Amino acid sequence: MTTFDLRSVKTRSGDQYRTGLDVELESLVLGGQEYRPEPDPTPAELTVTRASSGTVFELDFRVALRGPCFRCLADAELSLSLHVREYQAAKPGADEELRTEYLVDDKLDLSAWARDAVALALPDKILCRPDCAGLCPVCGKDLNIEPHEHVEEDSDPRWAALQALRDER
């Protein structure tokens, strides 16, 4: 877990502090499949901007997730370039929108923040390529390698009456 101690930053209102650091990211599990972040740890740039009303935190990083394709289970890679921002008011009171959940006792939890940012940036499906055909639902072969169709077998004679009704339309 990567944290950043804000006590080490000596800034006043209007000042900005930038630093490069490596953030440890956990693997994500989606649909029972594991997606590993690369590189691990991930190089990132943290910017802390002090204002009279609070502090703005910005994190910039690039990461690739590697794991199985959602359709054909071949190796897939998703590259993400992220710029995320959080705000912590000087006196947030009871208002949850004025505080960041990643700041506890002047320590900013960069690993949790980066993991949540990656999770929010994910598409519906991670694919090996945009036009992935997936696996055949009948035989399970990879349709990207061996495109094919199956001949429809004779239907069960018990469904003949329903088939006749459908054919009348």
Tens of pLDDT along 114-157?
999 999 999 999 999 999 999 998 889 999 999 988 877 667 88
Among the ranges given (25-39, 81-95, 99-113, 117-131), the one the predictor scored with the smallest mean pLDDT: 81-95
Its pTM stands at: 0.79
* Cis bond upstream, residue 147 (ω within 30): no
Whether the predicted pLDDT of 63 surpasses 90: yes
Mean pLDDT of all residues in 87-115 = 87
**What pLDDT does 153 receive?**
66
Mean pLDDT of all residues in 102-110 = 92
Mean pLDDT of all residues in 81-94 = 87
Whether the predicted pLDDT of 86 surpasses 80: yes
Are 42 and 27 spatial neighbours (Cβ–Cβ below 8 Å)?
no
**What pLDDT does 65 receive?**
95
**What pLDDT does 98 receive?**
82
Q: Cα 82–83–88 angle (5° rounding)?
A: 135
Residue 72: C-alpha distances to residues 33, 35, 142, 153 (Å): 13, 15, 6, 25
Chain-wide mean pLDDT for the chain? 90
Residues 6+ apart with CB under 8 A from 2: 21, 22, 23, 24, 41, 109, 110, 111
**What pLDDT does 80 receive?**
96
- 77: helix, strand or coil: strand
**What pLDDT does 94 receive?**
67
pLDDT band at 169 (very low <50, low <70, confident <90, very high): confident
Are 94 and 81 spatial neighbours (Cβ–Cβ below 8 Å)?
no
Q: Return the higher-pLDDT residue of 150 and 85.
A: 85
**What pLDDT does 120 receive?**
95
